[in-house]
Structure 1
Amino acid sequence: MTSSVPAGLKTPEPTRRLRLRLPELTDAAFYLTLLNEPDYIRFISDAKVRTLRTAEAFIKLRSLPRFEKYGTGLWVVEKLDTCDPIGICGLIIREGLDHPDLGYAFLSSHQGKGYAREAARAAIGFAREHMKLDWLCAIIDPGNERSAKLLTDLGFHRDGQRMLESIGAVSDYFVKPLSASACGADGQ
């Protein structure tokens, strides 16, 4: 068995180039690489995953339980043409945040190709259509200018900073309305 996530759990619709799918224990080699990317360690965290065994444990104890508990988490992003995993993207429910958090990370070899934007749009659509959310938020390291630009391009706006105990650092906080009621009657 590769997953303990309930069968039938929904995932975002595939995009032109990508599929967002549930993580599996067989993704351990991909996670090992991703979690040790310099940008991942610098801008997200050092998960201290250094072996295939600890990568499997990360998937089993950190990634899959989010899906079990909330019905959402960070999906593995894979290219449709090759089925190769290139990143993660999804919605994280965190204590201390007002709304679900859009999160993403991609292998350095697949950055700068529009994959994060494409996957994020799929996750935002999922949040709006399947989860019926009115708002999303995103938190990023204050030094992560590429993510700040992407979030702004996706319609998020800065709303100060947040200090989350689970992260142990101050993060820039962005929000995005997903519904007309969140925007107000005038749509703004």
Structure 2
Amino acid sequence: MPTVLTTGRLRLRHAELKDAPAMLLLVNEPEFLQNIGDKQVRNLEQAEQYLLNGAIASYQQYGFGLYLVERLSDNATLGLCGLVQRDYLQHPDVGYALFRQYSGQGYTSEAALAVVAYARDTLGLNTLCGIVAPDNLASKRILEKTGMRAAGQKTVLGSDKLVDFYLLDQV
């Protein structure tokens, strides 16, 4: 389980198939379904495929992906945070989803800020973006903390869903 980066309270590492039980729970939380969407993951086998086809494939294809976020003090799995290369976006997207019991404690901001710094300093990515449901004010605040600014709206590929688009030029 390669650790990608650590912060004062968190470890971000590559997701693995052993993380399927946590992913099954995370992608079916009401907040995930409302703000990110239904990934049609209903059992452990589907959760493993979700990891294989998503984060794990992304590490191999792009050298980055969504990372499992763990709390250093007790190794608790808090959720995901990382970079996603989406077909309909020109730049990598800073994405995150934490279990609801860990929201409001600064973990998401801490992880997102660390991912943005990693993208700039280690991966050499000069431009990042973020997408967020228009009514997800908490997520917008996190993107703004990373230095992103609102830059209009985008339509999600394969749907008629509009999302707010944020951009961070780090040059």
1:132-160, CA deviations, whole angstroms, 9 ceiling, x for partnerless residues? 11111000111111111121222110000
Tell which structure's C-alpha radius of gyration is larger.
1
Partner of 2:23: 31
Partner of 2:65: 73
1:95-130, CA deviations, whole angstroms, 9 ceiling, x for partnerless residues? 221211000000001000000000001100111011
| Aligned partners of 2:112 and 2:142 also within 8 Å | no
- What is the aligned length? 171
Partner of 1:165: 157
Per the TM alignment, residue 80 of structure 1 is displaced from its structure 2 partner at its CA by 0.7
2:143 pairs with 1:177: no
| Aligned partners of 2:3 and 2:14 also within 8 Å | no
Partner of 1:89: 81
Distance 2:7 2:37 in 1: 28
Structure 2 unpaired stretches of 5+:
none
Partner of 1:140: 132
2:115 pairs with 1:123: yes
SS at match of 1:118: helix
- Bigger share in strand: 2
Of residues 104, 112, 118 in structure 2, which corresponds to 1:112? 104
**Structural RMSD (CA):** 1.6
SS at match of 1:48: coil
2:147 pairs with 1:155: yes
Structure 1's consecutive aligned runs of 4 or more residues displaced over 3 angstroms after TM superposition are none
Q: Structure 1 133/171 Cα, relative in aligned 2: closer, same or farther at 3 Å?
A: same
Query: Taking every aligned residue pair, what percent have the same amino acid on both sides?
Result: 36
